[in-house]
Amino acid sequence: MRKLFNKVKALRSTRDRGASAVEYGLMVAAIAAVIAVLVFTLGATIKDKFQTTCDTIAGTICDDGTPANP
């Protein structure tokens, strides 16, 4: 009887570890999805802000290097 109890206990603990791994995988996937959404949502806005700053500091259009006021 003791052997059977130990086998059931060992089997249950392996299932728990598998469930934990699946849960961690789902959390990683959710975090990656949130990061992807933020990058696509805020990417253009941040790029525009950096471009404006670059243009102001350098006095040129930074993409092609031509002067803003020739």
pTM: 0.48
- pLDDT for 8-23, tens place per residue? 777 666 555 566 788 8
What pLDDT does 37 receive?
94
Q: Which residues does 55 contact at the CB level (< 8 Å), separation at least 6?
A: 61, 62, 68
Q: What pairs with residue 60 in β-bridges?
A: 67
CA angle 63, 69, 70 (to 5 degrees): 95
CB atoms within 10 A of CB 60: 14
More confident residue, 11 or 70: 11
